[in-house]
Amino acid sequence: MTDCIFCKMISGEMTPDVVLETDQVLAFRDINPQAPTHVLVIPKRHITSINDLQAADAELVGQLYLAAQQVARQEGIDEDGYRTVMNCGEKAGQSVFHIHLHVLGGRAMQWPPG
Ligand code: AMP
């Protein structure tokens, strides 16, 4: 997708602050962090939103969570706790339409989210 900023990060056209990369996923620091640790984990293949996931993507979705687990360990937030969030659609707060798992930690989290 030529107009997708996250695809540009994968292609190298943009250079995020990468914290983890595998053959299937890329994890980088959010440009507008909402917590001391705020990392986005994205698939290297463009998928617009959760609504576009197919059964064949199940393994890839698992890879996003395994990457989140590794990021949390690297960042030293795995023991204290962290939150993973994937927004779907504008009303839920999705602003970049390439699926991404937020990994937030380093502070206490509120529930329910606003
Ligand atoms: P969402 O609102 O759930 O779609 O999350 C999109 C996230 O992408 C937001 O937290 C933004 O701060 C983040 N973001 C947007 N542009 C960039 C960028 N160039 N580099 C890193 N994070 C970005």
pLDDT of residue 6: 98
The response to whether residue 31 sits with its C-beta less than 6 Å from ligand 1 reads yes
| Tokens read off for 32 | 């507008």
Q: CA triplet 37, 40, 43: central angle to 5 degrees?
A: 155
| Structural domain that includes position 98 | 5-105
Domain harbouring 31, CATH code: 3.30.428.10
Q: Which atom of ligand 1 is nearest to the CA of 16?
A: 20
Could you tell me which residues are beta bridge partners of residue 26? Answer: 21, 42
Q: Is 46 a catalytic residue?
A: no
- 75 domain residue, yes or no: yes
Gap from CA of 34 to ligand 1 centroid (Å): 11
- 70 domain residue, yes or no: yes
- 111 domain residue, yes or no: no
Burial readout 15-28 (b: 16 or more C-beta within 10 A, e: otherwise): ebeebbeeebbbbb
pTM score above 0.95: yes
- 69 domain residue, yes or no: yes
Mutate to test the pocket of ligand 1, among 88, 96, 98 (most ligand atoms within 8 A of CB): 96
Atom 15 in ligand 1: residue holding the nearest Cα = 31
Q: What is the pLDDT along the chain (114 residues), one digit of tens a residue?
A: 779 999 999 999 999 999 999 999 999 999 999 999 999 999 999 999 999 999 999 999 999 999 999 999 999 999 999 999 999 999 999 999 999 999 999 999 999 988
State how many domains the chain has: 1
